[in-house]
C-alpha cells in the first residue's frame, strides 16, 4: 500500500479498512462512516483533511452514537489500534484524520454496505 508523502495517507487502502470495519459493532462503523463523509467533504472544499476531535465528539453525542466521552474514545481506540486514524494538533486543537486519500475514501463510502 503506497503512502502519499505530502499528506501521509494510504492510497488504495479501502479493502484493508473494510476488513477492520466488518469486525466492529454497528456504532463503530457508523462513527467511522460519519468521519469519512466529513473528511471527504472537507477535502472537496479544499480544506485540510480531518475533523476537530471535540467537534466530532459533540456531533456523535448529539446523534446518540456515543453516550459518553469514554464510550466515544473506546470506539475510536479500535481505529487507532488498526492505524486507520491518527490525531494531529492543528492550531492548538486535536484533529482526527482517517489515513486514506480522497479517492480511497470515496471508494469506501460508495462500495460498502454500511
Q: DSSP labels for the chain?
A: --EETTTTEESS-HHHHHHHHTTS-HHHHHHHHHHHHHHHHHHHTT--SSEEHHHHHHHHHHTTS-SSHHHHHHHHHHHHHTTSEEEEEETTEEEEEESB-HHHHHHHHHHS--
Higher pLDDT, 14 or 61: 61
pLDDT tens per residue, range 25-78: 899 999 999 999 999 999 999 988 889 999 999 999 999 999 899 999 999 999
Predicted pLDDT at 1: 31
Please report which confidence band the pLDDT of residue 5 belongs to, taking 50, 70 and 90 as the band edges: very low
Of 1.10.10, 3.40.50, 1.20.120, 1.10.3470, which CATH number belongs to 3-111?
Answer: 1.10.10
Residue ranges per structural domain of the chain:
3-111
Mean pLDDT estimate for the chain: 85
Predicted pLDDT at 13: 65
Predicted pLDDT at 8: 42
Predicted pLDDT at 64: 94
* pTM for this prediction: 0.83
Higher pLDDT, 5 or 105: 105
Predicted pLDDT at 91: 82
Amino acid at each position: 500500500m503506497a503512502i502519499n508523502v505530502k499528506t501521509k495517507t494510504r492510497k488504495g487502502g479501502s479493502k484493508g479498512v473494510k476488513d477492520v470495519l466488518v469486525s466492529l459493532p454497528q456504532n463503530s462503523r457508523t462513527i467511522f462512516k460519519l468521519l469519512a463523509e466529513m473528511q471527504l467533504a472537507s477535502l472537496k472544499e479544499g480544506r485540510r483533511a480531518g475533523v476537530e476531535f471535540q467537534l466530532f465528539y459533540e456531533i456523535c453525542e448529539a446523534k446518540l452514537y456515543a453516550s459518553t466521552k469514554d464510550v466515544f474514545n473506546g470506539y475510536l481506540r479500535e481505529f487507532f489500534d488498526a492505524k486507520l486514524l491518527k490525531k494531529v494538533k492543528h492550531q492548538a486543537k486535536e484533529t482526527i484524520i482517517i489515513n486514506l486519500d480522497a479517492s480511497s475514501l470515496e471508494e469506501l463510502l460508495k462500495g460498502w454496505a454500511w
